[in-house]
Amino acid sequence: MLNTLLDRWHLSFGSTAPEVVVRAPGRVNIIGEHTDYNEGWVLPGAMSRSIYLLVSRSKTGQHHWIAYDLDEEIQSTEEILEYGQYAWAKYIEGAIRLYAPELGPLHILIGGDLPVGAGISSSSALVCGILFALQHLNGKTESKESIALIGQRVEKEIIGVQGGIMDQFAIMMSQPHHVMLLDCRTREYKLVDADLPGCKWILINTRVKHALIDSDYNQRAAQCKQSVAIIQKSFPEVQALRDVTMDMLTAADLPEVLFRRSAFVVQEDDRVHQMVEALHHHDAQRAGALLKASHEGLRHMYEVSCDELDHLADFANAYKGVMGARMMGGGFGGCVICLISEDALEDFSIACVDAYLDRFGFEPEVIEFELSLGVDKVSTP
């Protein structure tokens, strides 16, 4: 892929090589869904599927940005400021404006094998990758953690996405074969070996994203805040759902819907810590059971699943050789993450695609990946 992008670079920008080439990976999350904005714990990691960003300061006095995979490009400041139909340009412009406006016009080429809209944080990968490239160009020396926090600011202040820090931390600071036990309140984290002998982590992309994700995601966050406000009347020390126990929930006399939402978050936080123990003891069966429990909670208690996700999770969880599977991400589409025996992978992939095609009329995408290094600078051939 990189050689293809270099060929396009020279075709568009001439014989001079890009000043910096950066690889920015997507993000998977083993477990810990909807816990980040409740100041809880998550267990994400960077994946081997990535985007590449080739960047140089412009010698023409004009910006020229190319999204290779989308076959879209922008060649003037006016186009960039207007954004038009190119949503990706807003992320790049926001990163430049917030972090390195002094650099002036840039030549940028982006492309890779990271699916867009699959819930694996392609937008955060783009932001973190461009920030890392800008850091190289302007000679600044912030830590990767500092760059991750700037990436979160770009998405909050420029894009308007009020997300947590999980995506940026995992994309910037992950290590191969490991996931990150991240405390979303303190930002403290430790690396956890996620390799399980004889098993593989895979994703199955539903290839759908239902429109209700934005409104329902915000509604769930609001319901969690409502729950905290009620619980605080009895337990004033509580600041977020990460501070709550099941006994507190029962005592607080929450409305039924708020109880279910809150109980899921409390139980999901506990499952994160149980998963760390399962990985430490190389207990694939226990890890799979936690994935199944997480999906049931997301489906029935938090109610953020959909028919396509439920079908894939149900099919996987009933298949011999699959330890467990659950929906991953905000919900209403995107991917299922699955822990599967290496011996069963090939047959399962065929059977899973066929069953989904029969049910919905189009194929899902089985995504094989490795847990990888976070954002890094790439040496060109």
pLDDT of amino acid 27 = 95
pLDDT of amino acid 17 = 93
Angle (CA) 375-379-381 rounded to 5° is 140
Mean pLDDT of 11-34: 95
**What is the DSSP track for 64-121?**
EEEETTTTEEE-SHHHHHH-TT-HHHHHHHHHHHHH-GGG-SEEEEEEES--SSSSS-
pLDDT of amino acid 107 = 95
Active site residue ranges: 167
pLDDT of amino acid 79 = 56
For the chain, domains (ranges, CATH) are 2-193+372-377 (3.30.230.10), 199-368 (3.30.70.890)
Query: In 91-103, which positions are buried (b, 16+ CB within 10 angstroms) versus exposed (e)?
Result: bbbbbbebbbeee
Mean pLDDT of 34-59: 95
Mean pLDDT of 322-329: 96
User: What is the distance of C-alpha 132 from the center of its chain?
Assistant: 18
In this structure, the strands spanning 106-112 and 72-74 are unpaired
- The residue type found at 176 is P
Give 54's contacts (C-beta < 8 A, 6+ positions apart).
5, 6, 9, 18, 20, 21, 108, 109, 110
First-to-last CA distance in the chain?
Answer: 12
Give residue 61's pLDDT band: very low, low, confident or very high (50, 70, 90).
Answer: confident
Give residue 231's pLDDT band: very low, low, confident or very high (50, 70, 90).
Answer: very high
pLDDT of amino acid 75 = 82
The phi, psi pair for 12, rounded to 5°, reads -90, -35
pLDDT of amino acid 212 = 54
Distance CA 348, CA 292 (A): 17
Give residue 213's pLDDT band: very low, low, confident or very high (50, 70, 90).
Answer: low
Distance CA 129, CA 53 (A): 7
pLDDT of amino acid 77 = 61
Angle (CA) 282-286-289 rounded to 5° is 145
Q: Which two tokens stand for residue 298?
A: 């997301």
Mean of the per-residue pLDDT values of the chain: 92
Percent of the chain with pLDDT over 70: 95
The H-assigned helical ranges of 176-303 are: 213-234, 246-252, 256-280, 284-300
Cβ(152)–Cβ(163) below 8 Å: yes
pLDDT over 80 (residue 286):
yes
Taking residue 191's Cβ as centre, other Cβ atoms within 10 Å add up to 14
Tens of pLDDT, residue by residue over 146-205, are 999 999 998 888 777 767 789 999 999 999 999 999 999 999 999 999 999 999 999 999
Cβ(171)–Cβ(25) below 8 Å: yes
Distance CA 192, CA 172 (A): 16
Give residue 296's pLDDT band: very low, low, confident or very high (50, 70, 90).
Answer: very high
Tens of pLDDT, residue by residue over 62-121, are 889 999 998 988 887 665 555 556 788 888 988 998 999 889 899 999 999 888 777 788
Give residue 324's pLDDT band: very low, low, confident or very high (50, 70, 90).
Answer: very high
Angle (CA) 230-37-335 rounded to 5° is 125
